[in-house]
Amino acid sequence: MTMIPGWYYDELQQIGVDFEDAAQVQSYDRKQTSNTPEVNQALIQRLGISKGHTVIEIGTGTATFAIEAAVAGAYVYAVDVSDAMLSYARHKASAANAENIEFYRAGFLTYEHQGEPVDYIVTKFAFHHLPDFWKMVGLLRMQSMLKPGGVLYLRDVVFSFKPNEYCSSIDAWINRVAKPAGEGFTKADFEMHVREENSTFAWILESMLTRSGFEIIEKDYPTTEYAEYICQKR
């Protein structure tokens, strides 16, 4: 986009958890216990990412996935709106000798991919930062950055409980997953997620994926608050 219109969403603003806060960044890997190198290695293998592939990761955070993809031989464009996250991620990548990663401060709505269309786009626990209208814009933009047949992997907090059971479902979820302070994401963190971030319903996201030019190849709702999609550009 050459000129950003006045009505365009400002995705650099932090909503919910402030990922420009150094304390949040420093403690992130400790709190996000399911995002280990091993879990990311398994995902990379499952998606078939290997030497010679190009991968964009949007909302890279501390770059755990990006580093493992680079170590597996892919060329990785790691994108995030947070300067604090990017600076932490750069140090982590350099300590891991993961050289084939380029970091960019941008997001779903502003990253302009300069190279050839890529084989894969991966985004985990970041897409919910956008309101639904802007999720659609983000999907259209990601679709345009992929090669024909390219793969989008999307994982996030997505709701598939019955809409009229929202109250008991959200309460039960938070009670199940919240940890004591210092051991992970707390009740207050999850409450803020629901109150201020933009997690949406599965049927909305599925419809957006299809309407933005993807075929959903695999979808999984491990519980009614999380979703994973493997999609292919049509």
Ligand X SMILES: C[S@@+](CC[C@H](N)C(=O)[O-])C[C@H]1O[C@@H](n2cnc3c(N)ncnc32)[C@H](O)[C@@H]1O
- Contacting positions for ligand X (CB under 6 A): 11, 19, 32, 35, 58-61, 80-82, 85, 107-108, 124-126, 129-130
DSSP string, 203-232: HHHHHHHHHTTEEEEEEE-SSTTEEEEEEE
202-211 vs 132-145: helix axis angle to the nearest 10?
40
Distance in Å, CB of 79 to ligand X, minimum: 6
Distance in Å, CB of 73 to ligand X, minimum: 21
Rank residues 38 and 148 by Cβ distance to ligand X and give the closer one.
38
Rank residues 54 and 110 by Cβ distance to ligand X and give the closer one.
110
Rank residues 11 and 68 by Cβ distance to ligand X and give the closer one.
11
Rank residues 31 and 219 by Cβ distance to ligand X and give the closer one.
31
Distance in Å, CB of 164 to ligand X, minimum: 28
166-177 vs 187-196: helix axis angle to the nearest 10?
140
- Polymer length of the chain: 234
CA 88 to mean position of chain CA atoms: 17
Rank residues 85 and 98 by Cβ distance to ligand X and give the closer one.
85
Rank residues 19 and 153 by Cβ distance to ligand X and give the closer one.
19
Task: Quote the CA–CA distance of 232 and 234 in Å, as a whole number.
Answer: 6
Q: Taking the CA of residue 14 as centre, how many other CA atoms within 13 Å lie in the half-sphere pointing to its CB?
A: 12
Distance in Å, CB of 26 to ligand X, minimum: 13
